């Protein structure tokens, strides 16, 4: 398994700039607890200030987290990951593989569960608005 121990600072700077644009507090998903509260075994807060939070996400093979939500955010994948995302009714909202080094900017994400369906650890860094 190929992992990166250091994240390119320009990637994080780009994420911070991208999610800092917009109206404060208008980007929160308030229908479920935040990820780091709902599933602290997966979501570790690395740093935060009054505007942003940096969260390391780590799912073990086969691990499924608890229902949670996210405010507007940016995610950078540190590993390849095959995943399923479930809606509150238990149906699958999304499934498939994300590749190491890929990044995504997301609007607020309402209540969902993430499951690592691969046989390797899934890791990503998320920068989210507060």
Q: What share of the chain is helix, strand, coil (3-state, %, to 5)?
A: 10, 45, 45
Residue with tokens 């935040």, as numbered in its chain: 34
Q: What is the pTM of this model?
A: 0.78
List domains and CATH numbers for the chain.
9-129 (2.60.120.10)
Q: Look at residue 31 in the predicted model and tell me its pLDDT.
A: 74
- Tens-place pLDDT, residues 8-41: 655 555 555 554 444 344 344 457 999 999 999 9
Pairwise pLDDT comparison (123 vs 13), residue with the higher score: 123
Number of residues that make up the chain: 130
The strand pair at 73-77 and 81-86 is best described as unpaired
Count the neighbouring beta carbons within 10 Å of the beta carbon of residue 99: 9
Q: What is the pLDDT of residues 72-106, one digit of tens each?
A: 999 999 999 999 999 999 999 999 999 999 999 99
Read off the pLDDT of residues 52-62 as tens digits, 9 standing for 90 and up: 999 999 999 99
CB burial of residue 98 (10 Å; 0-12, 13-18, 19+): middle
């Amino acid at each position: 398994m190929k992992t990166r121990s250091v994240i390119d600072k320009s990637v994080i700077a780009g994420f911070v700039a991208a999610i800092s644009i917009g109206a404060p507090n208008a980007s929160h998903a308030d229908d479920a607890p935040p990820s780091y509260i709902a599933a602290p075994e997966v979501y570790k807060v690395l740093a935060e200030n009054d505007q942003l939070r940096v969260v390391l996400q780590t799912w073990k093979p086969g691990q499924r987290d608890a229902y949670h939500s996210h405010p507007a955010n940016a995610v950078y994948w540190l590993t390849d990951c095959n995943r399923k995302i479930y809606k509150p009714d238990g149906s699958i909202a999304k499934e498939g593989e994300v590749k190491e080094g890929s990044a995504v900017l997301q609007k607020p994400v309402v209540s969902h569960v993430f499951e690592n369906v691969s046989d390797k650890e899934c890791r990503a860094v998320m920068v989210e608005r507060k």
